Structure 1
Amino acid sequence: MSHPQLSIVIPAYNEGARIEAALERVTSCVAAQGWDAEILVVDDGSKDDTAAIVQRWMENYPRLHLVQNPGNKGKGYSVRNGLLQAAGEIVMFTDADLSAPMEEAERLIAALAAGADVAIGSRWMDRTRQTIHQPLYRQFFGRCFNWITRTVMNLPFKDTQCGFKAFKRPAAQVIFRLQTIERWGFDPEILFIARKLKYVVREVPVTWGHDERSRMSYLKDGLKMLEDMAKIRANSLVGRYDEAIAAMKDTSTMVTAPVEHVTKVSAEVR
């Protein structure tokens, strides 16, 4: 079987209440757009019926796959696990709430076609594209966190945290092998790694609507992300990323080698 052009990865933890609606919207979009695409739902140790719902849908959608983490590992782990197993020439991830409509993937794909290696959705480049705004306190904390991220990590992007990003396959295979942060703070790390490797990263304004069911706590998770950023800077200062890059080059594993943390696929993804 030939590889698909596009892989869509959806990390999911206890998403039984909305994963079916997400699958309906994504599969409908894929059909309407005529995309040559596979869909991978990464179940992060859900305690509800998320996995059972996906398996039921797989009976009618042969290019829908379920990837199961060995327990609850975090969003960063889930995205990495899915993207490293994805077969597409372009690989992307989107949140299960589809705050950015699936149709907006065309904007990311266009940025990659224009020469980018990485395309990231942005809620803040064009605020007129926000259909449902966050409460003011979430906007405040979000902008503060983004300012700190840009300053500490030297990242020039207006929005590092939008859960809507796409990669050319070779870039994804390298970036995510170097990723070390496995929970909420993984977004700044993968962008930091991409810039370190001199990949072309384009930020693209996307339509976006806030979902009130968001599980992220700006206080608790924000503090953890600050801790993660400190780890990323420390790793960089002591040369851990450089050492890992050199090791990958020395063993010719920049694209093709298996990765230890890729586990428990319940459906064939090749």
Structure 2
Amino acid sequence: MNTIQVTVVLPVYNDVEALKVAIPRSLEVLTEFGRTFELIVAEDGSTDGSRECVEEWEKKDSRVRLLHSDERQGRGKALNRALAESRGEIFCYYDVDLATDINHLPELITRIENGADVATGSRLMPESNIIRSGDREVASRSYNMLVRLFLGSKLHDHQCGFKAYRSDVLKELVPKIRASHWFWDTESLVLAQHAGLRVDEFPVVWTQGPGTTVRFKDVYGMGSDILKMWWRLHVEKN
């Protein structure tokens, strides 16, 4: 397979209505940006017609690729699989609901082109412009505070679904990432920092979508994952 400049991944689970907007909008922004690219939809066991929607786009545009799983794997495993199938020198992904303003995509990619190993949008930097409910704001800030406290991260926001990596760097990190679902985002950023890599964080415009697939058990699980990762970093390595 010929290498291209950018692989963009949309992780999807029962998101057919969001896909109807995200695919054409992504193609529009990426085409205007002027890099060679592929758009991979990592469709993770959906039952709402998401697969069929992407298959129709594959017929219309060769830059769109479906990566289907019959059973739900979880966000992390879906991203790992997409990375293994990708051809881009830069690997980036964002949430299919486009909660992060997609106009930030050129900056995300350019950060890597300008020397960063990892780049991530942030909803929690002072310059960020976000719209979301108060309860989710408190939960997010509390979670990120714990990541900084226990895992030594210097970043403001670890779970913003708007990230890019040098593909070769991410391929070295993935074998060390144990999370299969939502904690994958945090783990990749923490491991990158511990490896001494350059991680760029920049403020974004972000609007809470009408729904989310993050559940209470996911939040509880990520809290547990913080403690498990702390043990790995501070106890197991000794």
- Bin for the TM-score computed over the shorter chain: over 0.9
Determine if the alignment matches structure 1 residue 93 to structure 2 residue 93.
yes
Task: Give the deviation of 1:19 after TM superposition.
Answer: 1.0
* Deviant stretches of 4+, over 4 Å: none
Say which of 183, 196, 211 aligns to 2:209: 211
Q: Which residue of 1 aligns with 2:121?
A: 121
- Alpha-carbon RMSD across the aligned residues, in angstroms, is 1.7
Structure 1's unaligned 5+ residue stretches are 243-270
SS at match of 1:84: helix
Report how far residue 153 of structure 1 moved.
1.1
- Matching residue of 1:233: 230
Shift of 1:156: 0.9
List gaps (5 residues or longer) in structure 2. none
Q: Is the 8 A contact 1:84 1:176 kept in 2?
A: no
Q: CA deviation at 1:136?
A: 0.8
Question: C-alpha offsets along residues 34-82 of structure 1, whole Å, 9 cap, x if unaligned?
Answer: 2211000001111221111100100011011111235111111112221
Partner residue of 2:55?
Answer: 55
Q: 1:89 Cα deviation (Å)?
A: 0.9
Contact kept? 1:12, 1:42, Cα under 8 Å: yes
Alignment correspondent of 1:111: 111
How far is 1:188 from its partner? 1.6
- Counterpart for residue 44 of structure 1: 44
Provide the C-alpha distance between the structure 2 equivalents of 1:201 and 1:169, rounded to a whole number of angstroms.
14
Match of 1:66 in 2: 66
Q: 1:27 to 1:160 in 2, by over 3 A?
A: same
Q: What residue number does 1:251 align with?
A: none
Question: How many percent of aligned residue pairs carry the same amino acid?
Answer: 27
Question: Which residue of the partner structure matches residue 192 of structure 1?
Answer: 190
Secondary structure of the equivalent of 1:180?
A: coil
2:173 to 166, 172, 175: 175
Alpha-carbon contact 2:33-2:106 (below 8 Å) kept: no
Q: Which residue in the other structure is 1:249 paired with?
A: none
Cα distance, 1:107 vs. partner?
1.4
Secondary structure (helix, strand or coil) at the match of 1:92 reads strand
Corresponding residue for residue 220 of structure 1: 217
**Preserved contact between residue 9 and residue 41 of structure 1 (Cα < 8 Å):** yes
Q: Aligned in 2, Cα 1:153/1:128: closer, same or farther, shift over 3 Å?
A: closer
Q: Which moved more, 1:12-21 or 1:78-87?
A: 78-87
Contact 1:8 1:39 in 2 (8 A): yes
**1:26–1:175 distance in 2 versus 1, CA, 3 Å:** same
Counterpart code for 1:76? G
Cα deviation 1:152-195 (Å, max 9, x = unaligned): 11111000110000011211111123211011111221112112
Aligned length: 237
Does the 8 Å contact 1:5/1:90 carry over to 2?
Answer: yes
Contact 1:149 1:155 in 2 (8 A): yes
Counterpart amino acid of residue 122 in structure 2: S
- In structure 2, relative to structure 1, the CA distance for the partners of 1:170 and 1:128 (3 Å cut) is closer
Using the TM superposition, give the Cα deviation of residue 147 of structure 1 relative to its aligned residue in structure 2, in angstroms.
0.7
Out of 142, 154, 157, which is 1:156 matched to?
154
**1: CA distance between counterparts of 2:77 and 2:103?**
25
Which residue in the other structure is 2:75 paired with? 75
Distance in 1 between residues matched to 2:196 and 2:70, nearest whole Å? 33
Partner of 1:247: none
Residue 258 (structure 1) aligns with = none
Q: Which letter does structure 2 place at the counterpart of 1:50?
A: S
In 1, are the aligned partners of 2:100 and 2:204 still within 8 Å (CA)? yes
* Structure 1 contact 83–92 (Cα < 8 Å) conserved: no
The aligned residue for residue 142 of structure 1 is: 140
| TM, length-normalised to structure 1 | 0.83
